[in-house]
Amino acid sequence: MTKENPAAAAEPEEPKEPPAEKPSASGEKEAPSPAKAEKKPDENLEDLPLMKAIRAFSGEGVEEVSSFTGKEDELTVVVRRDQIHPLCLHLKDQHNFNFLADLCGVHYPDRDRPFEVVYHLYGLERRERLRLKVRLGEAEAAPTVSDIWRTANWLEREAYDMVGIDFEGHPDLRRILLPDDWEGHPLRKEYPVRGDGFGLQWVERHIPPAARPIAHRE
Amino acid sequence: MTQVTPETIVPQVEELILNMGPQHPSTHGVLRVILRLKGEIVQGVDVDIGYLHRGVEKIGENITYAQFVPYTDRTDYVASPANNLGYVEAVEKLALMQVPARAQYIRVITAELTRIASHLLWLATHALDIGAMTVFLYCFRDREKVLDLFEIAFGARLTVHAFRVGGIYHDPPKLFYDKCTEFAREFPKAIYDYEDLLTENRIWQSRTRGVAVLSAEDAIDLGASGPILRASGVAHDVRRAEPYAAYEDFDFTIPVGKNGDVYDRYLVRVEEMRQSAFIIEQAAADLPSGKTMAKVPRVLKPKRGEVYHRIESPKGELGYYLVSDGTDRAYRLRIRPPSFVNLQSISTMMQGGLVADAVAAIGSIDIVLGEVDR
């Protein structure tokens, strides 16, 4: 990977494939997208059989294709919100992505669509990996994939708890790590690292003064 | 007159909600399990976690890459070098860094020692939960030897901070490698002690066989990894599927179970300890010479991008998803904890089982709440 990357970075003349850029260019400002800013998508990413299959299925629904290493092991595909559920179902049924390794939310407050849900898919038989992403606006909900992989149940609850992303159709969407009546979502960028009232209110509501940590006593 | 049917004759059995934990000796920390019972049969399970939540991911986004390494020790605190390994390798991948071969080998030795220590702690407490006291003493006797090895090499026993971004800070003394070889040769004999006590033991078998069964399909669907997945018959091991560190240089087999019950999980973990000892012996025998630390800039600023790196921690697939925005701190630091995802399978495992088996089921997953709650 170390050898591969300077090589990939050393060919800046490669053309961006136009269909990938169209929807995202119209949809949002591209500046804060970390995966893209340094490197243009490798044209050989489009030649991967998996990428061709995704294109064939989702077509215009694919917003962006990139890979940090320039190879398929970090292949990242951003798709439109309405495409994520059908695409996941298709990838699981037709391409053996039977294992959802991870699902998490990321907050990019500077973007037009500030939330991102990141799916890490894995195929146990063919040992293939794929990262899918879907970008969401302030009030938009992501469709749940917990009906495709049951793993997603808790992972989506965690993304809801930590980043405050709503998942449409989730059977049991409630906080998982924090108490039910907690305010705010800690992994949002505006959430303070230290208290400033957020945790203190909860402590005052629930814990009698004598049992509070010293720092929270009067 | 009312019709007499079996329903009217059988007395109505009411559902009972039974709360277990968070302060319960067999939940290994602060895990609360709420069981919905009909008689002795478990009808439903709800798991309440988060008692140990410290916001590790948030902390990681506000300190530099190198500063976060000691925090990873505190996620899965019984297998801290494994957490270091996953994190530093993810950062190295992001910073396009090449780690010297000697450091890779030392990492493999340490990671496998960690696996042995973690599995020993699991076996000790799990056997104690089920009622076998002697195994506990044997396992702690041998785990102590592993912790002594950590102390020789890195100066700490539990939260070791073994690896740095770029390699190993100090090359461990020669004594460490000699002791590792000695340990790797002696340890398989100790495994016979545990197996003598448990494997053919009728009480052990009746407490574990056919208990908390998870089929291969369910295990995959629920994202279970590590020994849980392998006990269900899926031969998936990240060390083999996507070799990291120097694992492609070593010979080892992946133990696989058949039934996916508590007993198979026990067999898989015991065999894994043997394989780990075998790997340690190989790695200590042909250790490359040279440096143990790559050239690392004083201020590490990886370029923009994102990586997901995973390793086979003792508990399962441990993944780190890092997003860099070009500064010295991670923009997003996500830990994919194996315990958290494995714990989700508990409701499937316990559905329809007996309440008395709840302890065996929880123990067999091998959770560490520090990692579940982060």
Question: What is the per-residue pLDDT for B10?
Answer: 61
Average pLDDT, chain A: 76
- Of B292, B309, B303, B300, nearest in space to B325 by CA: B303
Cβ A155–B331 below 8 Å, yes or no?
no
Q: How far apart are CA A106 and CA A151, in angstroms?
A: 19
Query: Longest Cα pair distance anywhere in chain B, in angstroms?
Result: 92
Question: What is the per-residue pLDDT for A118?
Answer: 92
Nearest CA in chain B to A151: B222
Q: How far apart are the first and last CA of chain A?
A: 55
- Of B240, B82, B222, B105, nearest in space to B162 by CA: B82
Question: What is the per-residue pLDDT for B363?
Answer: 86
Question: What is the per-residue pLDDT for B44?
Answer: 86
Structure tokens at A112: 């037009």
Cβ atoms of B122 and B198 within 8 Å: the answer is: no
The gap from C-alpha A151 to its chain's centroid, in whole angstroms, comes to: 15
Q: How far apart are CA B8 and CA B19, in angstroms?
A: 30
B58 to A139, B53, B302, B313: CA distances (angstroms): 23, 11, 19, 22
Q: Among B50, B97, B304, select the one facing A176 at the smallest CB separation.
A: B50
Please compute Rg for chain A using Cα positions. 20
For residue B258, what is the DSSP state?
S
Question: What is the per-residue pLDDT for A3?
Answer: 40
Q: How far apart are CA B302 and CA A46, in angstroms?
A: 26
Establish, for the pair of chains A and B, how many residue pairs have beta carbons separated by less than 8 Å: 111
Question: Which helix (H) or strand (E) covers residue A209, if one does?
Answer: none
Partners of A121 in beta bridges: A100, A130
Q: Point out the least confidently predicted range of A48-57, A184-193, B51-60.
A: A48-57
Question: Which helix (H) or strand (E) covers residue B196, if one does?
Answer: helix B174-198
pLDDT, mean of each 10-residue run, chain B (374 residues)? 61 79 77 87 88 88 90 89 91 89 91 92 90 88 91 89 87 89 90 87 88 89 90 89 86 89 91 91 88 85 88 91 89 91 90 87 88 87
- What is the identity of the amino acid at B114? T
Question: What is the per-residue pLDDT for B119?
Answer: 93
Rounded average pLDDT over A201-214: 77
User: Which chain B residues are Cβ-neighbours of A118 within 8 angstroms?
Assistant: 321, 334
**Residues, chain A:** 218
Give me the residue label for tokens 């709360």: B19
Q: How far apart are CA A183 and CA A203, in angstroms?
A: 12
Cβ A177–B305 below 8 Å, yes or no?
no
Partners of B319 in beta bridges: B310, B336
For residue A95, what is the DSSP state?
H
Q: How far apart are CA A135 and CA A30, in angstroms?
A: 12
User: Which chain B residues are Cβ-neighbours of A100 within 8 angstroms?
Assistant: 223
Using pLDDT thresholds of 50, 70 and 90, give the confidence band for residue A25. very low
pLDDT tens-digit profile of A129-152? 889 999 988 888 889 988 899 899
The gap from C-alpha B312 to its chain's centroid, in whole angstroms, comes to: 8
Structure tokens at B94: 């992001």
Q: Which residues of A touch B (CB under 8 A)?
A: 1-2, 5-6, 34-35, 37-39, 68-69, 74, 76, 98-102, 104, 106, 118, 120, 124, 127, 129, 131, 149-151, 153-155, 158, 162, 175-179, 186-187, 191, 193
Cβ of A209: how many Cβ atoms within 10 Å? 10
A114 to A79, A82, A138, B325: CA distances (angstroms): 15, 17, 6, 15
- Of A185, A191, A65, A34, nearest in space to B307 by CA: A34
User: Which chain B residues are Cβ-neighbours of A187 within 8 angstroms?
Assistant: 57-58, 61, 332
Q: How far apart are CA A123 and CA A193, in angstroms?
A: 37
Using pLDDT thresholds of 50, 70 and 90, give the confidence band for residue A12. very low
Cβ A151–B221 below 8 Å, yes or no?
yes
Question: What is the per-residue pLDDT for A36?
Answer: 43
Question: What is the per-residue pLDDT for A32?
Answer: 43
- Of A164, A158, A118, nearest in space to A139 by CA: A164
Q: Among A104, A176, A191, select the one facing B321 at the smallest CB separation.
A: A104
Cβ B308–A74 below 8 Å, yes or no?
yes
